[in-house]
Structure 1
Amino acid sequence: MPSATDKTQANGLANGYTAIAGTEKCLPTVTPGETFWQTEKDELHDHRSTEQLPEHSDIVIIGAGYAGVGTAYHLVKDYDAKSVTILEARGACSGATGRNGGHCRPDLYGHIPTYMDRAGAQAGAEVALFEIANLRALKKIIEEEKIDCDFTLTRSTDVWCNEESAKKAKAVYDRMVAENLDYMNDVIFYTGDRSEGISGVKGAKACASFTAGTMWPYKFIMHLVKLVVTAGVNLQTHTPVTSVEPCSQEQGGFTVTTPRGTMHAGKVVYANNAYVSGILPQYKKNIIPCKGICCRITLPESKEAAPLLTNSYINRTDENVLSYLIPRSDGSIVVGGAAAVFRNAEDQWYDNVDDSVLIDAANDYYTDYMQRTYYGWEGAKIDKLWSGVMGYSYDSNPHIGAVPGESDQYILAGFNGHGMPVIWLSSKEVAKMVMEDVSFDKTGLPGLFQSTQFRIDRALNGKEEDGDILGTGKSAATKP
C-alpha cells in the first residue's frame, strides 16, 4: 500500500507539479477532504479572474488563505495597489484557514513565559499585546465590511483536569500577574471545587478565562476574496507555483512558474504557510507541515437541546490531552486537537501534507467527547471529521518579513496552528513593507516574528532539542 508521501507525490504529478529536490513533502494534495465549514462552497472558491495568467503583476501573492488574502486586502484598501495577483494551488481558502476550529484566541500566558525566558519580559508581552490588538482589529473590520461570518466576542475558558498540571498553570498565572502586565487584568483564575461548577467541565481542577473570539473562518476569508477581486486583484485558483526565479539584472523582478505557464512578478509574497519550503528550500527545517484533526459534533434532532455553552474552551483532560472547542449558534460544537493521542503515530501527521485522509490514530477520540466532558450531552455524535495541515516553526514563532538575503521577496508563514489571532495585523504590516519598502523594525510586528538568517541557520544546524513544537520543548525536526 502506498504511503501518504507516495500519494502526495502522485497527486502532485497529476496536477502538474514540479518538485524541488528534497521538498516533495511540501506539495499540497489535489483534493483535500471535506470540512464542515466548506459543505457549501463559495461562488469564488474556484475562481479565475482571467482565462490566462497575466503576463506581469507588480505583486504576486502565493496562497489564497488568511495570510494571502489578508495581505491582498491591505494592499488594495490601504495603498490602492493596482497590480496584484494571487496564485493558489487549490481552491480559495482550501488550506489550514478553511479547516481550523474557528477559534480566535489570543495567547496571554501559554507560550508567553517561554518567550520571556528567551528574550525578556518586553518581548513576550509584545506578542500578547499584538494578539489582543489583532482580535480587536478583526472585530472592527468584520463590522466595517459587514462580513457575515458568525463572529462572536466571548470568553475563552481554560480548563485543567490534572491536579499537577492545574498547580503548574496556577504558578504560571501567578508569575504573569507578578510581571504587572495590564492585560492580565482581563484574566481570572479559579482553583479547587469551584472549577467544575464554573467551567462546566467534569473533573476540572482549575480554570481560567479571558476575552476571545469565534467565527466561521471560511466565510470570513471568502468575503474578503470578493472584496479584493472586485477591487481588481487577479485571483488564479488551481494554479500551484512550482518555482520562483530572479530575472536578469536588466529586467529585474522574478519569473513565477506554474503548470499553466509563467508570469513576471515585481515582488513576491510567500503566504503558503506549511508548503513554503517547496519553493524556498531554506525553510525546510524552519517550517514543518504537521497535520491535525477537527470535527463538528451535533445532537440528534429528537433530543432536547443540551445545556447552552457560551464560552469557547481549551480543555485538558486528566491524561493531559488538549482540545480546543467552540460552541455554535446552531447548537453544534466544533472541537479539535488531541495531539497527545496520535503523537506516536508520526507518519500520520508529522511532515505530512495529505489532508485528504484522516489521522487513524485519533479517528475515534471525539466519538463520545461531549458526553465525557460535559453534563447533558448524552447522544451527541460526530457529524463531520476532517484533517488539516499546519506549519510549525522550529522556535514556535511565525516567520514574517523580508526573506533574508533576498530582495523584493516577503514571507508570512509558520503559524504553529495559531494563525487566527496573529495573521490579520501581520498581513497589514507585510503590505506596508511591500508598498513602502520599510524595514521590519519600522512596523508594529513583534520582534520575535521577524524571519532572520539567524533563525534559519539555527533550525538548519541546530539540535532537535533546541527547538520548540506544540509547547513540548522539542524542535519541529523531532517527534513530539
Structure 2
Amino acid sequence: MDERAKIPVSLPHPNPTVSYWQDPPDPIADHRTTPDLPSSADTVIIGSGITGAAVAWNLLQGANPGAILMFEARQACSGATGRNGGHTKHASYRTFPSHLAAHGAHTAVQIARLEHANMLAVHAFARDRGIDCDLHACPTVDVVLDGAEWESAQASVAAVRAAFQSPGQAEAGYTLYSAAEVRERFHVRHEDGVFGGREEKVLGGTNTAVTGLTRRKEGGKKEGGFCWEVQTPRGIVRARRVVLATNGYTAAVWPRFQGAVVPLRGQVTAQRPGRAMPAGGCLPTTYSFIYDKGYEYMVARPQGSRFAGDIVMGGGLVRAPDNGLMEFGTTDDSVVNEDISGYLREATGRYFGSAWGEDHPEERVRSDWTGIMGFSPDGFPFVGEVPGEKGLWASCGFQGHGMVLCWMCARALVDMMEGRDGEQLREWFPDVFRINEERLAKRFRGRLY
C-alpha cells in the first residue's frame, strides 16, 4: 500500500467513462461565465462538486462575499459527485464503535449526528428550492452475509443505542431482522444472516484545470491583499484565498497532500430490472450487502424517475485481485476494472435469485462507469486552513462517503474562513476532521471502513 500511496496524483483524465447521471450532459456541463478569465478574485474554488458548490453557496450567504471564481478541470460536477451511486445513506453504526474507542463518546456522537444532519440538509436544500432532481427519501436495509460481520453489526447497534439514550439525544432507529424475515420483506434470496436498518456573483470556468498554485509574499494594501497565483491554461488569476474542493485529486494541485489524500477508483453499474422483480424493480428501500472486508450498495430507481426500476449498484472493490490493491493511487476513470465489472454485473441476480427472474430483453446492464474517491490515513476528511499556508483552505478526503459529509464540512469550512471558528462551531463539528500537521504526516494503510 505504501507504493500505491506514493504514485504521483494526476489531474482528472480528459476522457472519463460516461456516468449514468450525466448522459446526456446537463445544460451547464460546459458553462463558462465569461470568455476570458478575470485577473483576480477574492476567493477561488477549485472543484465544482458538492463541496465546491456548497462552499460557494455558504460564502454567498454572507454580507460581503466578494468575487468568487470556481474552476473545474472537466465538465461541471464531473468528479466523484457526478459519478457516485446516488445513495445518500449514513450507516453510522458501522463506524461508531471505532470512533468511540479511539476518540470517546463525544466525538463519536458528533460524527454520527453530523452525518444525519448532512443527509437532512441536502434533501431540504433540494426540496425547499424546488430543484429538479431525483430526490427520494426511503428506508434502507443492510444485508449482512458473514457471521462475524453479523455479530459485529449487532454489537455496533447496541453501542449506538446506548450512546443516544442520553438526555437530548434521539435513539437511533435500527431494527434487526432474521434471515427468514429479510427474505420475506426485502426479496433477498441469500441464506446468511441479515441486519436491517431504519427504514455577489459566482463566475464559473469548466474545462479549465488548475495546473499550479504559487503563494506570493503576503499581499499588503498596495497589492490588494492577493496572496495566491492560480495557474491555468487560460491564464493566471490572483486570489486572496483558495479553496481545494478537489477530493481525490487534491495532491495534483497541492503536493503536500500526496499520501494524505490517496485516490481510489470506485465502480458503479446501472442494470435493468429482472422480469420477476416486485413493482418492476421500483423497490421501496435501498440496500447494502455487507461481507468480510467488503460491501456493495444498491439503489432502486423509483416510480416517476428516468429509467424507473433500474438497479444502481456500486462497490465490489475486494473482488478484484489483491482485494482491489491496484485501484488505490489511480486517477484513471476512463476505463473500468473488468474483474469488478463482471462481479457487479452478476451481483443482482445472485442476491435476488428467483425474485430477479429472467433478465430484461434489452440485456441486464445499461451503464458501467468509474469515479475517483479520496481516502485519508485516519479515515476522516481534511477540513480547514492548510498548516503554514495562509489563505489556502481545503475540504477533501471523504472516504467514499461524501454524500453524508461534504455539505456540512463545507458549511464548517466557510465558518472558519469567515472567522466564526468558536465554541458554536466546535459544538457540532468534530475536531478530528480539522487539518493539522500530525494528520498530514500519518502513513496511509488503506481503506479503514
Q: TM-score, normalised by structure 2?
A: 0.88
CA distance, structure 1, for counterparts of residue 368 and residue 135 of structure 2: 22
Correspondence for 2:22: 38
Alignment of 1:136-285 (within 5 A): 136-181=120-165, 182-202=169-189, 203-211=191-199, 232-249=201-218, 250=220, 251=223, 252=225, 253-285=227-259
Retained in 2: the 8 A contact 1:26–1:274? no
- Counterpart for residue 305 of structure 2: none
**1:418 and 2:406 matched:** no
Larger mean CA deviation between 135-144 and 405-414 belongs to: 135-144
Q: Distance in 2 between matches of 1:34 and 1:234?
A: 26
Give the superposition deviation at 1:347: 6.5
SS in 1 for 2:298: strand
CA distance in 2, matches of 1:186, 1:255: 49
Q: Deviations over 1:31-77 (max 9, x none)?
A: 21101101111111111111111100000001111111111111113
For 1:312 and 1:346, the matched residues in 2 are separated by: 25
Q: Relative to 1, partners in 2 of residues 1:301 and 1:346: Cα closer, same or farther, differing over 3 Å?
A: closer
Q: Counterpart of 2:370 in structure 1: which amino acid?
A: S
> Does 1:75 find its partner at 2:49?
no
Alignment partner of 1:290 is 2:273: no
Q: Deviations over 1:73-126 (max 9, x none)?
A: 111134452300001111111110000010111132111211111110111110
Corresponding residue of 2:355: 376
In the alignment, structure 1 residue 406 sits paired with structure 2 residue 406: no
Q: Residue 290 of structure 1 contacts residue 349 of structure 1 at CA under 8 Å; is this kept in 2?
A: yes
Displacement after TM superposition at 1:138 (Å)? 1.6
Question: How many angstroms apart in 2 are the aligned matches of 1:192 and 1:38?
Answer: 37
CA contact (8 A) 1:158 1:207 kept: yes
Q: Unaligned regions of 5+ residues in structure 2, if any?
A: 303-307
Q: Is the 8 A contact 1:162 1:320 kept in 2?
A: no
Task: Specify the SS of the correspondent of 1:325.
Answer: strand
- Give the secondary structure class of the aligned counterpart of 2:418: helix
Query: What is the deviation of 1:174?
Result: 2.2
Separation (CA, whole Å) in 2 of partners of 1:39 and 1:308: 21
**Do the aligned partners of residues 441 and 447 (structure 1) sit closer, same or farther apart at CA in structure 2, a change above 3 Å counting?**
farther
Letter in 2 for 1:454: E
SS of corresponding position for 2:59:
helix
User: Which whole-Å CA distance do the structure 1 matches of 2:63 and 2:296 have between them?
Assistant: 40
Give the one of 295, 308, 318 matched to 1:322: 295
Alignment-mate amino acid for residue 335 of structure 2: V
> How does the TM-score come out when normalised to structure 1?
0.83
Superposed CA deviations along residues 270-313 of structure 1, whole A, max 9, x for unmatched, are 00111111122221111100001001010379999536411111
Which of these residues, 78, 81, 96, is aligned with residue 112 of structure 1? 96
SS in structure 2 of the partner of residue 365 of structure 1: helix
Please tell me whether the aligned partners of residues 345 and 361 of structure 1 are also in contact (alpha carbons under 8 angstroms): no
Q: CA deviation at 1:426?
A: 1.5
CA contact (8 A) 2:37 2:237 kept: yes
- Which amino acid counterpart does residue 377 of structure 1 have in structure 2? W
What letter matches 1:417 in structure 2? G
Aligned counterparts of 1:120 and 1:305: Cα–Cα separation in 2: 44
CA gap of 1:287–1:320, structure 2 versus 1, over 3 A, is closer
1:368, CA displacement in angstroms? 2.7
Structure 2 Cα separation of the partners of residues 204 and 340 of structure 1: 19
5+ residue gaps in structure 1? 6-21, 212-230, 472-480
Q: Which residue of 2 aligns with 1:342?
A: 320
Task: Give the 3 Å change call, closer, same or farther, for CA 309–394 of structure 1 in structure 2.
Answer: same
Q: 1:284 to 1:440 in 2, by over 3 A?
A: farther
Q: Does 1:352 align with 2:325?
A: no
SS at 1:209 equivalent: coil
Among residues 30, 43, 47, which one is paired with 1:63 in the alignment?
47
Three-state SS of the structure 2 residue aligned to 1:172 is helix
Amino acid corresponding to residue 88 of structure 2 in structure 1: C
1:87 and 2:51 matched? no
After superposing the two structures, state which structure 1 stretch, 198-207 or 46-55, moved more.
Answer: 198-207
- Aligned mates of 1:66, 1:307 — CA distance in 2: 28
CA distance in 2, matches of 1:301, 1:206: 25
Shift in CA distance, 100/440, structure 1 to aligned 2, threshold 3 Å: farther
Contact 1:395 1:468 in 2 (8 A): no
Counterpart of 1:125, as a letter, is: V
> Structure 1 residues 138 and 193, CA, compared in 2 at 3 Å: closer, same or farther?
same
Q: 2: distance between equivalents of 1:190 and 1:362? A: 29
What is the RMSD computed on CA atoms of the aligned residues? 2.4
Residue 183 (structure 1) shift = 4.3
Deviation of the 1:341 alpha carbon? 0.3
1:343 positional shift: 5.3
Q: Aligned to 1:190, what secondary structure does the other structure show?
A: coil
Alignment of 1:394-473 (within 5 A): 394-436=377-419, 438=421, 442=425, 444-457=428-441, 459=442, 462=443, 467=445, 469-471=447-449
* Contact 2:381–2:396 under 8 Å retained in 1: yes
Cα distance 1:416–1:165, how it changes in 2: closer, same or farther (>3 A)?
same
Distance 1:415 1:394, change over 3 A: same
CA distances 1:296-345 after superposition (whole Å, capped 9, x unpaired): 0103799995364111111125x664100111121111110011101517
User: For 1:343 and 1:391, how far apart are their aligned partners in 2?
Assistant: 21
- Partners of 2:120 and 2:273 in 1: CA distance: 33
Aligned counterparts of 1:390 and 1:201: Cα–Cα separation in 2: 29
Residue 386 of structure 1 aligns to a residue whose secondary structure is strand
Partners of 2:101 and 2:275 in 1: CA distance: 50
